[in-house]
Structure 1
Amino acid sequence: MSIDTVSALPPYTTTAFEKKAPAILQLVPHFDGGGAARLALEYGAAIQAAGGQTWIGYEQAAASTHELSRFGIRGIEMKLASRNPLTGFNVARRVARFAAESKIDIIHAQSASLAVIGHAAAKRAGCRLVTTFHDGPGSVAALSKRARQAFLESDLVITLSHVTADEIARALPALASRLSVVPFGIDLTRFDPGQVTAPRVVQLANQWRVPDDIPVIMAPATFQRGKGHSLLLEALAQIRDLDLRCILVGPDPDGGVYRKQLEREVAAHQLQDRVLIAEDVRDMPAALMLADLIVAPYLEPATYNRVLIEAQALGRPVVASDFPAAREVLDGSSMAWLTAPGDAQSLGWAIRDALALPLDEREARTPQVIENLRPRADRDVMAAQVLSLYNSLLMDAHQAA
């Protein structure tokens, strides 16, 4: 999705932040609609509200950066992507120089790929190092030797899933005492069905020419192969007896190459009258409210499953691939169907079953879905947790000095 508007955060104040306003440099691969960029923006807004300073360094911006200036966050284009050790050394040296000149207290690498650079830069500049593991539990074993070392020497490692944290603790036992779980949180005032007005939903329905009398299923996801768009099309081809409209919506990180492939697949399955491949949308709450069913047929596990969180916050039924992190996010929901990853037939049957739920029953279950999610997916709680962790690191540094 595009970088959503972040509403103002309440001012968080702690003893350590009052003593010394922290300076945090967050590193993200790209400032786009991905989870790393989203988290960096949320954390940065909270730090600024607490009286600190935030810089976000990124390889390139694939989304508007106006939200950065709105919250006083400074965005910096840095050449961060490199698989060459020599080039990576030069990148780390530049990041370290910037950190030293800007008096950065903590470097926070928001991906495993940047952990190595963040580690080298923090060590050179004398900063504390925080790393976030965004990938699913299955990706822990695939970490390179250098990435493992970077995580092992981090002052703090954050993951968004208890399942992933358990896997990291098993693979890297020395990290157990420095591992924290901070579940992904969203702005629950924005993703609140009571705040999504009918005209906003109608506007999107007209824009996408959605008929009034047939159910709508939606797959909100970045247009990447791992998100399972092709699998969904295959499943839809197997349930032609169901009258429905499917909307695929999300950003194009590859400039539209994969989108064009999907258009060819839609034609090959003869689904032109059932599937719309839409442009990305900023008003995601209205888009989700337009849908009768949200589908996340991922082929690869994701650790934060943002779309599953946003859908539940609005009380929408969800069909998702049965990965451990998805199971964790959907735990307790009365309108969630989990399917075998990569299995088009299983996905088709789950869609059929979900759409068979009577409207009055769906409406009766909606409050339970919302209340089940809210206590564990609050953006403000997430921000407060991260600030507390930063605070602890700064207190430790102060006491050690």
Structure 2
Amino acid sequence: MQEGHILTVLQVTPELSAGGVERTTLEMAEAISRAGGLALVASAGGRLEPDLRAAGGELIQLPAATKNPITAISNAFAMAKVVRERGVQIVHARSRAPAWSALAAARMTRTPFLTTFHGIYNARSSLKRLYNSVMARGDLVIANSEYTRQHVIKQYNIDPARVIAIPRGVDLEHFDPVRIKPDDIATLRSQWGLAENDKRIVFIIPARLTRWKGHLVLIEAIKHIEAKRPGALKLIIAGDAQGRRGYHEAIVTNIEANKLQDVVAVVGHVRQMPLAFAASDVAVFPSIEPEAFGRGAVEAQAMGVPVIASNLGGFTETVVEGETGFLVPAGNVTALATAMERFIDLAPETRVKMGQKGRDRAQALYSKEALQTATLAVYERLLREAKERKT
């Protein structure tokens, strides 16, 4: 930011649990604080609250995950009060439900309003389309990939000059294979049910337990592989159910029905994802709907782990077919199983080379610092344009 300028930004996100939205919120809190600014986050909070404090941010606790109209209105007035009392210069909304409150607060206080599209929102009705449209009402709009940017421009008829693509960043110091200790890898693999001399190829799907992430498609593919070549692989399902008990039960039931208990391990939320990737051979992202970006695939590649992903959305930008991994048609069990078998049959040194290409590419294109610098530049632009409108 400009010398001597104190930047105060209120980021608005539903909660601070786990996921790309939350991580990007923390990364920008860190950048704002490091630039000498004040990083406020309006949120219901969650397990990442200590991380926010460590990043130099301050939590403004509100029931921001609500879809209750009365509570949303109350949130709007609470945010407006924060804007006035703390001298907030930019309100930055990252999710639809709290974005309506944030928009109202920004308009009440005549504060620049910024939104970030972290996902592709389906609109099967005019009411849902109206609900989604709040994310297109920013004075400027950030899209987390070029795929998302083109979708936003087309769906909401926005001036392309108002929509800026900023890929999600990865903390390359955190996601660094060199930092992982072999003993820690051995301990985690043991917890996953892998013996010290286990030769199985370890695949990991690091994704919250929601149906469109494709867990059931992956289990079906593993069933086919096990029928042909038993004992060739181990799958780790690492992700938070986030209250979706029905889907979690469906996954467990599917595993048991196919007698895959020794092949598939459901390990829940994993806090140390760099270690989890280091303990794995291949990361799999079999999403059946487009990912706006797909941060997990970049994190895996940053750790030198090759990737299998659906040939959809952001994965088409972050995974290079045949070089850093393989892209397969979404929902196609046979194609997914074939790609997994290709990795099973590859020589270990070939997998390592693919992983290194992925890390090299992640370092070149997807650093956390690049995201922070680009977003701070958007903040600068917002403030400059707001000043020009007043003169």
Q: TM-score, normalised by structure 1?
A: 0.89
Shift of 1:281: 2.1
Distance 1:261 1:174, change over 3 A: closer
Tell me how far apart the structure 2 counterparts of residues 366 and 90 of structure 1 sit (CA, whole Å): 49
Match of 1:75? 59
Shift of 1:174: 3.4
Of 178, 182, 192, which residue of structure 2 is paired with 1:198? 182
Match of 1:330? 319
Q: Which residue identity does 2:270 align to in structure 1?
A: V
Q: Which residue identity does 1:57 align to in structure 2?
A: A
Tell me how far apart the structure 2 counterparts of residues 332 and 319 of structure 1 sit (CA, whole Å): 9
Match of 2:19? 34
Give the conservation status (yes or no) of the 8 Å contact 2:286–2:309: yes
Distance 1:152 1:210, change over 3 A: closer
More displaced 10-residue stretch of structure 1: 46-55 or 351-360: 351-360
Give the conservation status (yes or no) of the 8 Å contact 1:226–1:298: yes
Shift of 1:260: 3.2
More displaced 10-residue stretch of structure 1: 377-386 or 367-376: 367-376
**Where does 1:75-224 land on structure 2 (aligned, <5 Å)?**
75-136=59-120, 139=122, 144-148=129-133, 150-211=134-195, 212-224=198-210
Q: Which residue identity does 1:51 align to in structure 2?
A: G
Shift of 1:329: 1.2
Tell me how far apart the structure 1 counterparts of residues 321 and 339 of structure 2 sit (CA, whole Å): 18
Tell me the SS of whatever aligns to 2:293. coil
Query: What CA deviation, in whole Å up to 9, does each residue of 1:294-316 have, x standing for no partner?
Result: 11111222212111001111221
Give the conservation status (yes or no) of the 8 Å contact 2:96–2:131: no
Q: Which residue identity does 1:327 align to in structure 2?
A: T
Give the conservation status (yes or no) of the 8 Å contact 2:323–2:357: yes
Give the conservation status (yes or no) of the 8 Å contact 1:141–1:171: no
Shift of 1:146: 4.8
Give the conservation status (yes or no) of the 8 Å contact 2:320–2:326: no
Match of 2:219? 233
Query: What CA deviation, in whole Å up to 9, does each residue of 1:80-135 have, x standing for no partner?
Result: 34445455333322222222222211111012333322211100122110101111
Match of 1:3? none
Query: Any unmatched runs of 5+ in structure 2?
Result: none
Shift of 1:325: 1.3
Shift of 1:248: 0.7
Query: What CA deviation, in whole Å up to 9, does each residue of 1:252-271 have, x standing for no partner?
Result: 31175533332221101110
Match of 2:378? 389
Give the conservation status (yes or no) of the 8 Å contact 1:140–1:171: no
Tell me how far apart the structure 2 counterparts of residues 301 and 75 of structure 1 sit (CA, whole Å): 31
Shift of 1:79: 2.2
Match of 2:32? 47
Shift of 1:36: 1.2
Shift of 1:354: 2.2
Give the total of aligned pairs.
Answer: 383
Give the conservation status (yes or no) of the 8 Å contact 1:226–1:299: yes
Query: What CA deviation, in whole Å up to 9, does each residue of 1:138-176 have, x standing for no partner?
Result: 64787622542x345411100111011012122333331
Match of 1:378? 367
Match of 1:315? 304
More displaced 10-residue stretch of structure 1: 180-189 or 65-74: 65-74
Give the conservation status (yes or no) of the 8 Å contact 1:332–1:372: no
Query: What CA deviation, in whole Å up to 9, does each residue of 1:167-190 have, x standing for no partner?
Result: 212233333111111101111122
Query: Any unmatched runs of 5+ in structure 1?
Result: 1-13
Of 15, 20, 25, which residue of structure 1 is paired with 2:10? 25
Of 294, 297, 304, which residue of structure 2 is paired with 1:305? 294
Tell me the SS of whatever aligns to 1:248. strand
Tell me how far apart the structure 2 counterparts of residues 127 and 390 of structure 1 sit (CA, whole Å): 12
Give the conservation status (yes or no) of the 8 Å contact 1:130–1:155: yes
Q: TM-score, normalised by structure 2?
A: 0.91
Tell me how far apart the structure 2 counterparts of residues 371 and 303 of structure 1 sit (CA, whole Å): 22
Tell me how far apart the structure 1 counterparts of residues 291 and 35 of structure 2 sit (CA, whole Å): 30
Distance 1:359 1:169, change over 3 A: same
Match of 2:276? 287
Tell me the SS of whatever aligns to 2:150. helix
Shift of 1:30: 1.6
More displaced 10-residue stretch of structure 1: 82-91 or 277-286: 82-91
Tell me how far apart the structure 1 counterparts of residues 69 and 107 of structure 2 sit (CA, whole Å): 16
Tell me how far apart the structure 1 counterparts of residues 100 and 262 of structure 2 sit (CA, whole Å): 48
RMSD of Structure 2 on Structure 1 (CA): 2.1
Match of 2:242? 253
